[in-house]
Amino acid sequence: MSQENAIEVRNLVVHNTALTAVRGLDFTLPAGARMGLVGESGSGKTLTALALMGLLPMGWQANGSVRHDGVDLITQSDRALSNRRGRTISMVFQDPLSSLDPVRRIGQQVSSVIRRHTQAGKKEAERRTVDLFRQMSLPRPEQLMRAYPHEISGGQRQRIMIAMALACYPQLIIADEPTTALDVTVQKQVLRLLNTAVQERGSALIMITHDLPIIAAMCDTVAVMYAGKIVEMGPVAEVFRHPRHHYTKGLLDSQPTMDNIALDGSSRLASIPGMVPPLHSLPAGCAFHPRCAAATEQCITQVPTLDDGPRRAACWHPIGATVPMEVA
């Protein structure tokens, strides 16, 4: 199993009766690899994750193919998917408070995942849970078993969620904004623990976030999503140092950092004008063209596709190219 890809997504489309939120996604994640999925709200990144997990909200449907562990997740029954979640593929959500059951003890919630997917009995599952808590550097793991979610801090709760997601050594972990709801000073610690735990298990990771520094710290490759499509992908260092798509560059430039702001108050941050288009009125051609300074007639009428190679971008006038791309 270890040599196989953790996940292969082909032409994934997620839609409901009126809207199409994810418009044809293709990516492959080798076993143990780590990919960042960047996008703003409305880019379709969370629906992509939910589609991979088989957890789409009522009314939404996924098409295309998602190969994972020898099966196509799209065609699997609810029962088969439920059997899989937490075992071969698991997810860490943004808000741990709303993903933990408030009326069950923490130990019970985590050990029930282990009992659901392994042969372990009650005692054995509890022993493993305590071990997991210890790996997550949680204080007093034995007492924590009997605590309720409201009794512990947000950072601790998120570490519990990570422990739960990793309990059965999944091949793939999807983390959707795992530190956004946490205090900045706790963020690094949680990321570090997630990093180590994923590494030790050899799991593949899809890190979904709008926070570019987190992707830079945690992932090997990155895919930038805009309006339901991947507009740029490649090795994270190359994409972030030499972005080819104007949207990626805009995102990078609008981060206030020590490097791009003069701290005497004289500088102005570069910002991307306009806003993310709503799904019901996506612009024709390149969806980013109304906000793009480099847009031409071609961008308004023709939809760019991801070009080939290790550094793919879907842009008619990619940054760094001297000759305009011809129509494919």
Partner 1 sequence: MTMAANDPSLVPPLLEMRQVTQTYALNRQSLLGARPQLTVLDNIHFDVRPGEAVGLVGESGSGKTTLTRILTGMEKPREGHVFYDGRDVWAGGAEHWRQFRRSVQVVMQNPRSSLDPRMRIGSSLLEPLRSLKIDGDHAARVFEVLDQVGLTRQALERYPHEFSGGQLQRIAIARALMPGPKVLIADEPVSALDVSIQAQVLNLLKDLVNNLGLSLVFIAHDLSVVAYTTSRVSVMSAGRIVEVGKPMDLFVRPQAEATQNLVGAILTVESGLAGNALG
Among 59, 72, 202, 237, binds partner 1 (CB under 8 A): 237
Which residue number, 275 or 303, has a Cβ lying nearer to partner 1?
275
Least distance in angstroms from the C-beta of 288 to partner 1: 11
**How many Cα atoms are found within 13 Å in the side-chain-facing hemisphere of 253?**
15
Which residue number, 44 or 107, has a Cβ lying nearer to partner 1?
44
By CB under 8 A, tell whether 310 contacts partner 1: no
| Site string (16-45) toward partner 1, x via CB under 8 A | ------------------------xx----
Q: Which two tokens stand for residue 166?
A: 């990793």
The amino acid at 122: K
Partners of residue 29 on adjacent β-strands: 7
What are the helix (H) ranges across the chain? 45-53, 78-84, 96-99, 106-117, 122-135, 141-144, 154-166, 184-201, 212-218, 236-241, 246-253, 297-301
* Region 248-277 residues binding partner 1, contact defined as CB under 8 A: 250-252, 254-259, 261, 263-265, 267-273, 275-276
Q: Cα(275)–Cα(273) distance, rounded to whole angstroms?
A: 7
Answer for the pair 232, 316: CB distance below 8 angstroms, yes or no.
no
Least distance in angstroms from the C-beta of 191 to partner 1: 6
Answer for the pair 278, 42: CB distance below 8 angstroms, yes or no.
yes
Give the interface segment with partner 1, choosing from 121-129, 143-151, 170-178, 214-222 (CB under 8 A): 214-222
Q: How many residues make contact with partner 1 (CB under 8 A)? A: 46
* Region 173-212 residues binding partner 1, contact defined as CB under 8 A: 183-185, 187-188, 191-192, 195, 210-212
Residue 279: Cβ within 10 Å count: 17
Among 37, 51, 160, 214, binds partner 1 (CB under 8 A): 214
Which residue number, 146 or 192, has a Cβ lying nearer to partner 1?
192
Which residue number, 9 or 215, has a Cβ lying nearer to partner 1?
215
Q: Cα(197)–Cα(27) distance, rounded to whole angstroms?
A: 24
Is beta strand 5-15 parallel, antiparallel or unpaired with respect to 20-30? antiparallel
Q: Cα(212)–Cα(251) distance, rounded to whole angstroms?
A: 8
Among 216, 279, 319, 325, binds partner 1 (CB under 8 A): 216
By CB under 8 A, tell whether 327 contacts partner 1: no
By CB under 8 A, tell whether 281 contacts partner 1: no
Is beta strand 172-176 parallel, antiparallel or unpaired with respect to 204-209? parallel
The amino acid at 137: S
By CB under 8 A, tell whether 97 contacts partner 1: no
The vertex-180 CA angle with 164 and 138, nearest 5°, equals 40
Give the interface segment with partner 1, choosing from 111-119, 122-130, 245-253, 312-320 (CB under 8 A): 245-253
* Region 107-126 residues binding partner 1, contact defined as CB under 8 A: none
Which residue number, 27 or 226, has a Cβ lying nearer to partner 1?
226
Q: Cα(301)–Cα(297) distance, rounded to whole angstroms?
A: 7
Give the interface segment with partner 1, choosing from 80-88, 124-132, 234-242, 307-315 (CB under 8 A): 234-242
Is beta strand 204-209 parallel, antiparallel or unpaired with respect to 34-38? parallel
- Positions that interact with partner 1 (CB under 8 A): 40-41, 183-185, 187-188, 191-192, 195, 210-218, 236-237, 240-241, 250-252, 254-259, 261, 263-265, 267-273, 275-276, 278
